[in-house]
Amino acid sequence: GIEVQNVALKDITLPEEMKRVIAKQAEAERERRAVITVSEGEVQAAGNLAKAAQIISAAPGALHLRTLNSINDISSDKSNTIVFAVPLEVLRAFERIKDKASQ
């Protein structure tokens, strides 16, 4: 008998509609992978921020140092923006005053 060991196609001409469908599917797959990559990056960033917050909250002066660093970074910007850094304790005191006044 005859045994076929290999079959190869040398030239295939697809209809234009089929080419568009294949291209659209490939684009959708690339977009899906991009969305997954972005979301994985966001998850890692959120984890890093949570770790940083935990470390900063454990060190008494770390938050103040971070605030001063942020003010320094902002002040080097050549814009007309003015930043007033109000300590969190002051804001909480105003909240308590407001709560007492509304009672």
One domain for residues 17 and 53:
yes
One domain for residues 65 and 96:
yes
One domain for residues 32 and 52:
yes
Which residue range(s) make up the domain with 80? 60-103
To the question of pTM greater than 0.75 for the whole model, the response is: no
Burial of 68-92, coded b for 16+ CB within 10 Å and e otherwise, reads: eeeeeeeeeeeeeeeeeeeeeeeee
One domain for residues 50 and 68:
no
34 found inside a domain? yes
Task: Give CA–CA dist 50/55, Å, rounded.
Answer: 9
78 confidence band (pLDDT: 50, 70, 90): confident
One domain for residues 66 and 87:
yes
* pLDDT of the residue at 19: 95
Task: Give CA–CA dist 64/37, Å, rounded.
Answer: 34
4 found inside a domain? no
DSSP3 helix / strand / coil % (the chain, rounded to 5): 70, 0, 30
Q: 31-61, pLDDT tens digit by residue?
A: 999 999 999 999 999 999 999 888 888 887 8
Report whether pLDDT(83) > 80. Answer: no
